[in-house]
Amino acid sequence: MDDSKIRNMEQFARVSGISRPTVSKYFNDPASVRPKTRARIEEALEQYDYRPNIFAVNQNRRLTKNIGIVVPYLADPFFAEIARNIEQRCMQAGFWPTLFSAHGDSALEVEILDSLRSLKPAGVLLAPLGRASDRAAIEKFCDDVPTVLFDSNIDGVGEAFVGSDNTQFVKLSVEYLCRTGEPPCFFEMPPVNPNANKRRNGYIQAMEANGFAPQVIRVAGEGWGFEEVGYLGGLDVIDRGLLTSNTVLCSNDRLAIGFLAACYERGLRVGRDADCVLRVAGHDDHPFSRFGCPPLTTIAQDYEKISERSVEALFTLIEGGRTAGPRIESLFEGKLVMRASA
């Protein structure tokens, strides 16, 4: 046998003179074998330049170390950032995260869940599409696999949900904008998930609580290309004179970024200075929001706490087993980030 081409653990055990069960035990937990044996194995690893197929080892365990992470649209900087945080936490805990994006497609979302079953995951962290999701398919998957939902809730589905308090988000932004200038109108597109509806309803409640009439402006658009929707919708609203306030509160930062581009194209100066004709704010504190022109005032989601609580909830579920207890929901408040746009 060519020692430079060891292809599996059986071959490695044979050439190293160490039993296959002992080698397997080492790869599952190096500290579980005696120091002298561990030294022999590690010396043989260097001698034969062998590295095991960790995925295959993982699949043969009764409980794998695989963790599935599913997001609706990875090109969205929010989901890229939250997925990065979750991945790191999983790896630090010794798990192997695998990331999937549904690309806004409900059929693909179901295919991803079907594929995940073949990985025998210890658990899954799922941010569902929301309105477009196949609830029955997701519910069935969550019955089969320990699953924690994050960002977008589907009532009663999964063992737990972790997300942001969208009503608090909008209340905070409305109160700030009313306190510092003209009450805002609300710029939105048709909702792609429950968060959008919660933000619109939160805006209406906050405006009424502050003694002002709500002014909702909905622009045409669908899918997850929010910047383009905000840009094209913004041009249309500006050209038709539909803005009912000199303060515009956008449903999310990506819409706001598109709206800022429309304002620039129409020569409308945005900001807090005396020569500005509009103030614009958003929600989420997307990673690019502070680099806009002007930098965007927004409500920041707590990426760290959402990712930490999501992973903790899943690990608790994996370690403690599934119980008949109540479904746990954790909501985190946002923080006002004041920048030059409002």
Residue pLDDT, tens place only, 285-313? 998 999 989 999 999 999 999 999 999 99
Q: What tens digit of pLDDT does each residue of 246-261 get? A: 999 999 999 999 999 9
In the chain, which residue ranges form alpha helices assigned H by DSSP? 9-16, 20-28, 35-48, 54-59, 77-92, 106-118, 135-144, 166-180, 194-209, 226-239, 253-265, 303-320
* Contacts of 102 by beta carbon, 8 Å cutoff, 6+ apart: 70, 71, 72, 73, 108, 109, 112, 129
What is the pTM assigned to this prediction?
0.79
Q: Which residues contact 225 (CB under 8 A, 6 or more apart)?
A: none
d(C-alpha 246, C-alpha 56), whole Å = 60
Q: Which of 50-54, 107-111, 191-195, 285-289 has the lowest mean pLDDT?
A: 50-54
Percent of the chain with pLDDT over 70: 92
Summarised one tens digit per residue, pLDDT across range 214-244 is: 999 999 998 889 999 999 999 999 999 999 9
Whether the per-residue pLDDT at 52 is higher than 90: the answer is no
Q: CB atoms < 10 A from the CB of 314, how many?
A: 29
Parallel, antiparallel or unpaired: strands 298-300 and 335-337: antiparallel
Asked whether the predicted pLDDT for residue 324 surpasses 70, the reply is no
Please compute the mean of the pLDDT values over residues 35-49 and round it to a whole number: 83
Question: pLDDT value at position 2?
Answer: 46
Confidence of residue 37 (pLDDT cuts 50, 70, 90): confident
pLDDT in tens, 188-211: 999 888 899 999 999 999 999 999
Q: With contact defined as beta carbons under 8 Å apart, do 158 and 180 qualify?
A: no
What pLDDT sits at residue 331? 95
At residue 223, the pLDDT reads 87
User: pLDDT grade, residue 1 (50/70/90)?
Assistant: very low
Helix 35-48, helix 20-28: angle, nearest 10: 90
User: What pLDDT shows up at residue 111?
Assistant: 96
For residue 56, pLDDT beyond 70: no
pLDDT at 3: 46
